Structure 1
């Protein structure tokens, strides 16, 4: 009966563990200084350097130094003559001092040296992002100072826990943005959830620097571009509302994947923003805007399910809520008031105590008078004129009537002398005097408390 190979099981587990650690260690590319030739002298910017033609050369020979102009091949272009002597001292080196220096004796070249003025590269701090699901991954890092012309940057990408060769990408430096950018090709149908290991290396003749490995997934590095065409419009007859519109960035195709948005706004006197989240449309109505105040609005976007990071904020857009054209408060100042007129328009009155003596007598009175004249209606003048004419006509009629009555009474009172007087003869029996006529007559029994008034002459007589 054969025994199971006990010692082989731990060895297999150990081998598997080593393979996993090797795969997890990342691309692990060497990142040292670029190889320099034996005749290259390295100098740092701002430092001093001494070039020597020959060690222990003859003292009776005159040695002169020349430097080739930049852009010329060695020995094939123009050269500029420098100082004489077996050694050449250069102070306060610059990048422009890089080149090939040669020493000559009697026109015969003795030695040629290549001077390289460079700083060691900065350590890269890489960040990766992807503009949409169908775009490549871009990895970049900024630089504090401009790199030397001989600086190179490389990037390696491979799947984590998989023993396969890493893909190598050359990075490009953008001088305006002052950063290196590397493009990582994403094959079609790649799994967005599988982890990837990203390594970087920057080197030149002065040294090399490796960045820290980054573990990413294609979904976690999603970062859309900011929304475009952000506009702010006023809504008619809505003094506290604003309509904000925007559009998808050109790098994102909304036919297959959507975005969600976040809007922030503030009135210009304020310093803090108010935010509205979970906006799935490309427009938003703001309901709490300040009346008559200009507002600043910005929008940013993120993948609809929250994968990845938010985009940068869009450019600022400004807008002011709708204002009633008849509202003259903002034009006349906070101390003005309005009152409705008969024709539906509005006039403006200003209290005289708000102005000085000069203003009340001068400019203030002129403003009120101008406003009153501008809003006066011809209908008012017609009514006033008609009333005046009617009053005059009535007055004239009363005067004429009174004059006719006065003339008639005068004519009856002045009778000619000698004319006989005729006495009035009563046709009926004489009536008793007013004092003997009872005021109340009781022809029959009446209810107690009843009052019958039968002689109204009592109330109209002068007695």
Structure 2
């Protein structure tokens, strides 16, 4: 019976040791004697004696000053058995003296403090070879003198917890505690992490956290994320990135997740299980900017994902021909009443400094191409030259035929083709056609000897 009850008691103690404790006090809860606590912005009254002094005794108040600007060391305040201090500030903290008849009657210490907030701790580790960082945000600035510590011990162990001092970062408005990890520590053994925040106004403890070194892994976001178009691929984008500087890829790897969306779309498309530091997007919208982000996690899924990287924008490749046609569609021309044309060009084609929607005015003649005039003029000139050459040639032949009535024998003798029956020899045929009207449709060929003589 005793052994059974002892086993039950041991099990109960183990459960109590493992159970998280919320809101327990971790510092002194009481205030020293003759200490008055006041919160910032509140009113407080300091009382010198529990009962009113005699009528012939004048009670006055003084405050001890410290620092280079203290002067004589005390500052005279109001008279009376009670001293009202409205709208307290942190600077009102200090030692107040009550004097009666010139001698001290009582000394009171005023503390203007805000009780600390209950911490809500989260822990993370940026890499396998980094220390664990535990932090919690603050809603308001802590009062001066606030102290925060982190206590860590192995679960179910009877050893005392180690204590680490936490640091307050005013810009980030949070406390950060660093937990050193010894070399060769087991990443799978559970640890109990507890926090304690205290000041003169009180103390507060956060809820205990049970963690392992592998479960709190949280890498930093990937760096140098770029998005580039691929030539002659209007629906593809190449995304590149690099490991965060806090993670050494020589010993441990990361897996990545990429998400992207066209700029008009509200939702992202996600690609998981990316082990390389690049990805080809093959379903991008043509000519549309895309927003891309990348995050990382330990390769075997230990811990949590990193934060998303900053947004990077990229646009797929655009065919220059399509771009030219799109630009041409923006220009237009229209006639005006004075016979000229007004040509409207898009702003990107105007010179720098031109106003939007500027209109360029040009005459109708300037719209005609000069090549048409050059071709027509050249053709006319060539026709004139050929006509003059033919006239000169025929004139020389006519003059030669007047000088001799017949050709010498033995010269220019060729076989002639008879064009009509009973026609005289060609050498006796006159160079000029016989007088008289020509029959309609009749063909008269004269001086055929010229064409067959070779001259």
Provide the TM-score with structure 2 as the length reference.
0.72
Tell me if 1:276 matches 2:256: no
After superposition, residues 389-400 of structure 1 pair within 5 angstroms as 389-397=381-389
Match of 1:306 in 2: 301
- From 153, 160, 163, give the equivalent of 1:165: 160
Deviation at 1:171, TM superposition (A): 1.7
Match of 1:436 in 2: none
Match of 1:219 in 2: 214
Tell me if 1:93 matches 2:88: yes
Residues 68/235 of structure 1: CA separation in 2 closer, same or farther (3 Å cut): farther
RMSD (Å) for aligned C-alpha atoms: 4.0
After superposition, residues 100-119 of structure 1 pair within 5 angstroms as 100-105=95-100, 107-119=102-114
CA contact (8 A) 2:223 2:244 kept: yes
- Paired residues, what number? 389
Tell me if 1:9 matches 2:3: yes
Match of 2:54 in 1: 58
Give the whole-Å Cα distance in 1 for the aligned partners of 2:58 and 2:158.
Answer: 64
SS of 1:240's equivalent?
A: strand
Residues 243/91 of structure 1: CA separation in 2 closer, same or farther (3 Å cut): same
After superposition, residues 284-299 of structure 1 pair within 5 angstroms as 284-299=279-294
Deviation at 1:411, TM superposition (A): 8.4
Deviation at 1:389, TM superposition (A): 4.3
Give the whole-Å Cα distance in 2 for the aligned partners of 1:269 and 1:97.
Answer: 57
- From 126, 131, 141, give the equivalent of 1:136: 131
Deviation at 1:86, TM superposition (A): 2.0
Give the whole-Å Cα distance in 2 for the aligned partners of 1:282 and 1:199.
Answer: 38
Deviation at 1:310, TM superposition (A): 0.6
CA contact (8 A) 1:231 1:244 kept: yes
Deviation at 1:115, TM superposition (A): 0.9
CA contact (8 A) 1:266 1:296 kept: yes
Give the whole-Å Cα distance in 1 for the aligned partners of 2:384 and 2:269.
Answer: 70
Structure 2: gaps spanning 5 or more residues: 346-358, 404-420, 423-440, 444-455
CA contact (8 A) 1:27 1:158 kept: no
Residues 218/119 of structure 1: CA separation in 2 closer, same or farther (3 Å cut): same
Give the whole-Å Cα distance in 1 for the aligned partners of 2:258 and 2:332.
Answer: 44
Give the whole-Å Cα distance in 2 for the aligned partners of 1:283 and 1:148.
Answer: 49
Structure 1: gaps spanning 5 or more residues: 1-6, 337-349, 413-429, 432-459
Per-residue CA distance 1:330-366 (angstroms, 9 max, x = gap): 8726x35xxxxxxxxxxxxx565xx685899212498
SS of 2:10's equivalent?
A: helix
Give the whole-Å Cα distance in 1 for the aligned partners of 2:302 and 2:335.
Answer: 66
Residues 461/69 of structure 1: CA separation in 2 closer, same or farther (3 Å cut): same
Deviation at 1:89, TM superposition (A): 0.3
Residues 86/287 of structure 1: CA separation in 2 closer, same or farther (3 Å cut): same
Residues 364/319 of structure 1: CA separation in 2 closer, same or farther (3 Å cut): same
Match of 1:198 in 2: 193
Give the whole-Å Cα distance in 2 for the aligned partners of 1:241 and 1:77.
Answer: 79
Give the whole-Å Cα distance in 2 for the aligned partners of 1:377 and 1:143.
Answer: 79
Give the whole-Å Cα distance in 2 for the aligned partners of 1:326 and 1:381.
Answer: 31
Q: Mean Cα displacement is larger for which, 290-299 or 220-229?
A: 290-299
Q: Mean Cα displacement is larger for which, 170-179 or 292-301?
A: 292-301
SS of 1:218's equivalent?
A: coil
Deviation at 1:53, TM superposition (A): 2.0
SS of 1:14's equivalent?
A: helix
CA contact (8 A) 2:38 2:44 kept: yes
CA contact (8 A) 1:69 1:79 kept: yes
Deviation at 1:251, TM superposition (A): 1.2
Give the whole-Å Cα distance in 2 for the aligned partners of 1:368 and 1:307.
Answer: 70
CA contact (8 A) 2:25 2:203 kept: no
Provide the TM-score with structure 1 as the length reference.
0.71
Residues 130/403 of structure 1: CA separation in 2 closer, same or farther (3 Å cut): same
